Amino acid sequence: MTKKNPSLIFRIFKSHTFSLIVGILLILVGIIEICETVIPEFESFLEVHHGILLIGVTHVVKALIYILEGTEGALITEIAEEIEEIID
């Protein structure tokens, strides 16, 4: 049995490059927040809630990917067992 190629969204969210980019963005948001705290005149469009939203969306999508993969694996196993019962 051959394994299907995962969809593009699966590959993107599971890649190390994506994790690196999210980490860099979170560090950037943190640095900007520190600058806004230390330097009163410093203003930016990025704030802490943007970083929290980024973390939340990333974790939800990754969790859904793993849930879908697990469900697919369970269904494939169940179908394979049914086919074996029919053959025997």
Among 55, 53, 49, residue whose Cα is nearest residue 23: 55
The amino acid present at 87, given as its one-letter code, is: I
What is the residue-level pLDDT of the chain in tens, covering all 88 positions?
Answer: 445 666 787 788 888 888 899 889 889 988 888 888 888 888 877 788 888 888 888 888 888 888 888 888 888 888 888 888 888 7
Q: In this predicted structure, what is the pLDDT of residue 6? A: 67
**Domain segments of the chain: what residues?**
10-87
Q: In this predicted structure, what is the pLDDT of residue 3? A: 57
> What are the counts of helices (DSSP H) followed by strands (DSSP E) for the chain?
3, 0
- Residue 25: C-alpha distances to residues 8, 14, 55 (Å): 22, 17, 10
User: Could you tell me the pTM of the whole model?
Assistant: 0.64
